[in-house]
Amino acid sequence: PTPVVYFSLHTLKPDAAVMITGSHNPPAYNGFKLCVGSETLYGSAIQEIRSVIENQSFSEGNGSVSHQALVPAYQDYLRKHFSFARACTVAIDAGNGTGGEVLLPVLQELGIRVVPLNCTMDGRFPVHHPDPTIPENLAELRAVVRTHHLDLGIAFDGDADRIGVVDDQGEIVWGDKLLLVYARAVLASSSGATVIGDVKCSSLLFDDIEHHG
């Protein structure tokens, strides 16, 4: 999962990182997420790399190779930094991407009852495409939450760096409302904190952030 790579930037402190991932795109596509230090490259920095590739103007040097078990270290971090006031039951739809096999054992050890959906990795995505921002891809998750009266449903995209959420009624909780919940929690413990949203967010979010200081 991409979050494991971002985790490694802060624990291993490498000079750079490359994540090979198709993200939430169809199986025919693949790509790279590039980081220098702890920063993700975007915009003009991506075009600079394109220029290096097209001009074949590569730097040369010597290095070394070592292997690190990133997933167990990431799972240990989650176990140590999260706890829950009560046991709840959550459906997790990994969309046959990378998130399910990493997250499920951690949730279970933290006392969460998990109903797993499509948690075996399969890059063909045989059940549905792993893009949780598309309502059709949440249909199975919504049905399971409603049928079994679960507390929550969470769906992941292919590389597990974005989520879709449904509430205990099986209704979709869109991203700006999720950010609203997170913002309230942050502002309750850090008054006056800055919260960033994008242009897709509704005015409801920004009004609520301002209301909570």
Nearest to 101 by CA among 81, 83, 122: 122
Query: How many other CB atoms are there within 10 angstroms of residue 117's CB atom?
Result: 20
CB burial of 164-200 (b: ≥16 within 10 Å; e: otherwise) equals bbbeeebebbbbbbebbeebeeebeeeeeeebeeeee
DSSP annotation of 137: G
Contact call for residues 153 and 165 (beta carbons, < 8 A): yes
The two tokens of residue 204 are 């409801």
Provide CB contacts within 8 A for 82, sequence distance 6+: 110
The values of phi and psi at residue 52, to 5°, are: -60, -45
The active-site residue, picked from 8, 23, 83, 190, is 23
- What's the rounded Cα separation, in Å, for the pair 211 and 184? 10
| 51 is a catalytic site residue | no
Q: Which residues are annotated as catalytic?
A: 23
